[in-house]
Amino acid sequence: MSAPLLAWVEGSDAPRVFGLLPRERLARQAAKAGFRIADTPEAAELLLSASHVYGGSVLAALAKAAPGAVLKDDSGLVAAMRLPAATEIGAKAGPEAKSGAELAGRYDKQLRKRADPMVRAIGADPRPAEQEIFDATYKGVTDFVTKHVWPVPALHAVRLCVRFGLTPNQVTLASLALVFVAMWLFWTGSFLAGLAVAWVMTFLDTVDGKLARATLTSSKIGDVLDHGIEAPAPRTCVQRVVAGVDVEQLAEQAAAHDRLRPLPCPPGGTGRFIGP
């Protein structure tokens, strides 16, 4: 087995993005992309920027590219290269430089969607980079609520989780706890409260996956937990709503209403109620 490619991260770190310095983010991406961070620049075969964030597919493609390959960002500046190369990080890219899409393609097999791979300079404000990273975590095919209702609150929730040091697995376990709360509420006939708890559960189910992808902390255990919750929870809620409506309870409510029904009024008279 050949030794992994050695990479060097050049420049001063830009601000943290989702709690990670660019060097820390690259270190987490390295093994999956097929390289590792070198101890000294002299040994490096791949040069990366400490002021950029990269999509995983771009790094993997760059690690497999021939020496001299140059990657440019959206502003047309050099963002990375395979050494040796006749340019430097931050220089204006020449005609030989390729964009992320040209180097890695636009199809993301893991998320099953087509999109330009990320090659972005962070800048003084990390929020635009966080937004692009967050948007890139969405799968190509998903439900209406996840795609159109949850994105804005989920982004804020991910930032809060990063701020308070919450891990994706902790969010998943909180979602699991709400599954049992919702099931109990449905079982006892508290349907509105059960639906409210179920909605919070589905929201956390969105947050945990986005948090894992945004902070590069996905794990096999987390994947098992996440899919384990997704399988029974919606089915159980629907079954309880459809099959668990208590006929006797509805009959009692109807009887209580009937005991207070108004009697017909005689001509010119006033109505009166009969009680229990």
Convert the pLDDT of each residue in 57-115 to its tens digit: 999 999 999 999 999 999 999 999 999 998 999 999 999 999 999 999 999 887 788 99
Homologous superfamily assigned to 144-247: CDP-alcohol phosphotransferase transmembrane (TM) domain (1.20.120.1760)
Q: Which residues of the chain have pLDDT under 50?
A: 233, 235-247, 250, 259-263, 265-266, 269-276
Those residues with Cβ within 8 angstroms of residue 123's Cβ, 6 or more apart along the chain or in another chain: 14, 129
Amino acid of residue 250: L
Residue 139 in tokens: 């799968």
What is the predicted pLDDT for the residue at 263?
A: 45
* Residue pLDDT, tens place only, 230-249: 555 454 444 444 444 444 55
- Three-state secondary-structure class, residue 261: coil
DSSP letter at 109 equals T
What is the predicted pLDDT for the residue at 218?
A: 84
* CA–CA distance, 58 with 209 (Å, rounded to integer): 21
Domain residue ranges in the chain: 5-124, 144-247
Those residues with Cβ within 8 angstroms of residue 273's Cβ, 6 or more apart along the chain or in another chain: 260, 261, 262, 263
DSSP letter at 138 equals S
Q: What is the pTM of this model?
A: 0.79
